[in-house]
Amino acid sequence: MTATLSTLGSSPKNQLRLVLAVCCLAQFMNVLDASVMNVALPSIFEELKFERHDLQWVNSAYTIAVCGFLLLGGRLADLFGQRRVFLFGAALFTVASAVGGMATSPGALIAARGFQGLGAAVMAPASLTVLGTTFRDPTARAKAFGWWSAVSGTGGAAGVLLGGIVTESLGWRWVLLINVPLGIALVAMIRGAVPETPSNGGRKALDVPGAFTVTIGLMALVYGIAQSHELGWGSWQVAGSLTLAVVLFALFLRQQTVSDHPLMPLGIFRNRAVTATNIVAFFAIAALFSTFYFLTLVLQQVMGFSALATGVGYLPLSIGIALGGFGVARIVPKIGPRPVLIGGLLTATVGLLWVSTADESSTYLGSILVPTTLLGLGMGAVLNATTNAATSGVPREQAGLASGLLNTIRQMGSAIGLVVLATMSSARADSLLAQGEPLRHSLGSGYGLALFGAAVFTFCGALAALAVPRKK
C-alpha cells in the first residue's frame, strides 16, 4: 500500500471507514485484554501452579509495560512513520498472545504478558494518531473519535462478559489465543488500509536519554503503585521504586530542556487544551476503570451474581458508553469539548453516587440499572470529548506525542485510581469485620466507599474541565 494522507483524504468513504475499523479493532484488543484476564485468574492459578503472591504479575506485567512505553510508542509513530509502527505493535501483540496462550509455566506467561503490554503501548497511540491525521473535517473527526471512544469504554465492560464465557466454555488459554486470529486480521487490514507518513528523522531524532529515563521512570512508578497494596507504602520495594521514579522524571525534564530533539517537547503543555484535557482524562479514567473492578465485586460478592450474570449486568453500562460517545459526535464540533466534558462528568458523578449505595439487600433494577446507564452515557461523552480536545490543534509532527501522552495519562489514572480506592475499600471492610459485622455487609460497605471515591474523581474532573478553552 503506497497511499498517502493526501490521497486518502480524497478516497471513497468506504476507504475511510476501513481506516476507522482498523483503529477501532486495535483499540478494542488493547482495552479488552486489560480486563478480560481478571475472570481467568483463578483457572490460571490452578493450572500453572502459581504462588499466590505471584499471581498479580499476570496483570501487573502488562500494566507496567503498557504505561512505561506508551509515551515512547507515541513518539516512535512520529519519527518512523505511523503505519510501520502500527504494524510492529500489532504483530508483537499477536505473537505475545500466542506465546502466552501456550505458556506452561508462570514465568513464561508473565513474560508474554509483558511483551503484550509493549505491543499495546506501541499500537494504542499509533491507532489514535492515524485517526487524528486521517480525519481532518471536524464533524467526521468527532464521529471517528466517537467510535474509537465507544470502543475504549465498552471494551473494558465487554471483557468481563467475554472473559467469563470463554473461560467457562473453552478454558483460560483462549482468553489469550482469541487475539491471534484478530491480530492476524488487524495486521492485514493495516497493510491494506493505513497510509504511511514520512519519517521525521528516525534514530537521529530520537532522544535516547529522554526515552530511557521516562520509560524506566514510568515503569518504576507503576510498579511501586501496583505493589503498594500488597507490600505497603513503607516497604523498601515500594519506597525505592517511587524514589527512583521521581529521580528519573527529574532527569527526564532536564533532558527535555537541553536535547535538540526532545522526546516530549515541553512546549506542548503551553497548549491549554492539551494540558487541561489530560488532567480531565486522568480523573475520568481513574473513576471508570476502578468502577469496572469494584462493580464486579459488588455484583458477585455482595449481591450474589454469577460470573455470567455479572457480565450481562454490564450491558447497560456498555450500551450507555456507546450511545454517549456517538450522541456527542455532532455536538462537539459545534459547541466545543468544554460543555460536553462538564455535562458528561456531572452525569457520571450522579450515576456513581447512586450505585455507591448498593448493598446486600439491593436489587439490580433499583440500584444498578439506571445509575450504570447514567454512568455510561456520561463517560461515553467524556471519552469522545477528551480524545478530540487532547489531539486537536497539535502539529502533525507531534500527533503521536499527543496521542501517547493522552494514553499514558489514562493508564496512570487507572493504576493510581485503583490503588487509592482499593486501599480505602480494604480499610473500611477490615474495620467493620473487626467490629463483628457480617462479611457481605462489610465488603459492600468497603466497595460502596470506593465507588463514592470514584464519584469524587469524576467531580474533580468536572472542575478541571472548567480550564478547557471555550470554542471560539
pLDDT tens, residue by residue, 53-86: 666 678 778 877 887 787 788 778 777 888 889 9
CATH class of the structural domain 270-471: mainly alpha
Give percent helix, percent strand, percent coil of the chain, each to the nearest 5: 85, 0, 15
Mean pLDDT of 368-380: 94
Alpha helices in 81-105 (DSSP H): 82-101
What angle, rounded to 10 degrees, do the helices at 337-355 and 439-465 form? 170
420 or 287: which carries more pLDDT confidence? Answer: 287
The residue type found at 159 is G
Is the separation of the CB atoms in 108 and 96 below 8 Å?
no
Write down the pLDDT at residue 115.
94
* Cα–Cα distance for residue pair 183/302, rounded to 1 Å: 37
Nearest partner of 52 among 99, 108, 117, 106, judged by Cα: 106
Do the beta carbons of residue 53 and residue 76 sit within 8 Å?
A: no
pLDDT at position 153? 66
Q: Which pLDDT belongs to residue 198?
A: 62
How would you label 368-385 residue by residue, b for 16+ Cβ within 10 Å and e otherwise? bbebbbbbbbbbbbbbbb
Are 55 and 230 in contact by the 8 Å Cβ rule? The answer is: no
- Give dist(CA 39, CA 51) in Å, integer: 18
Q: How confident is the model at residue 194 (pLDDT cuts 50, 70, 90)?
A: confident
Q: Which residues contact 225 (CB under 8 A, 6 or more apart)?
A: 415, 416, 419
Tell me what pLDDT residue 199 has. 59
Percent of the chain having pLDDT more than 90? Answer: 29
For residue 22, with 0-12 CB atoms within 10 Å meaning exposed, 13-18 middle and 19 or more buried, which class applies?
buried
Q: Is 181 exposed, middle or buried (0-12, 13-18, 19+ CB in 10 A)?
A: exposed
161 pLDDT above the threshold of 50: yes
403 compared with 115, residue with greater pLDDT: 115
Residue of higher predicted confidence among 46 and 160: 46
Q: Give every CB contact of residue 258 below 8 A, 6+ residues apart in sequence.
A: none
Q: Is CATH 1.20.1250.20 what the domain over 12-195 is classified as, yes or no?
A: yes
| pLDDT tens digits for range 109-125 | 999 998 998 999 888 88
* Cell numbers for 289: 476503570
pLDDT of residue 283 exceeding 80, the answer is yes
Q: What is the pLDDT of residues 133-146, one digit of tens each?
A: 787 777 777 778 77
pLDDT value of residue 234: 84
- Residues contacting 139, CB < 8 A, separation 6+: 329, 330, 333
- CATH topology match: 12-195 vs 270-471: yes
Instruction: Give the pLDDT confidence score for residue 5 in this predicted structure.
Output: 41
Residues in the chain: 472
Q: Which are the contacts of 439, defined by CB distance < 8 A and separation ≥ 6?
A: 433
Cell numbers for 460: 474533580
Average pLDDT across the chain, whole number: 83
User: Looking up cell 490503588, which residue turns up?
Assistant: 419
Whether the per-residue pLDDT at 290 is higher than 60: the answer is yes
What is the mean pLDDT of the segment spanning 228-248?
A: 87
When computed from its CA atoms, the radius of gyration of the chain, rounded to whole angstroms, is: 21
pLDDT attached to residue 351: 96
Residue 209, all three cell numbers:
536519554
Q: Judge whether 350 and 460 are in contact, CB under 8 Å.
A: no
The more confident residue out of 398 and 258 is 258
Cβ contacts of residue 3 below 8 Å, gap of 6+?
11, 195, 196
Alpha carbon dihedral 370, 375, 380, 384, in 10-degree steps, equals: 150
Global confidence as pTM: 0.75
How far is residue 50 CA from its own chain's centroid? 27
> At a CB cut-off of 8 Å and minimum separation 6, what does 397 contact?
78, 200
Lowest-confidence region among 18-22, 201-205, 306-310, 395-399: 201-205
Sorted by where each begins, the domain ranges of the chain are: 12-195, 208-262, 270-471
Tell which residue, 280, 400, 397, has the closest CA to residue 346: 280
> What value does the mean pLDDT take over residues 153-169?
72
Using 50, 70 and 90 to split pLDDT, how confident is the model at 163?
A: confident
For residue 47, give every residue at least 6 positions away whose Cβ sits within 8 Å of its Cβ, in sequence order, or none: 172
Average pLDDT score over residue span 376-395:
83
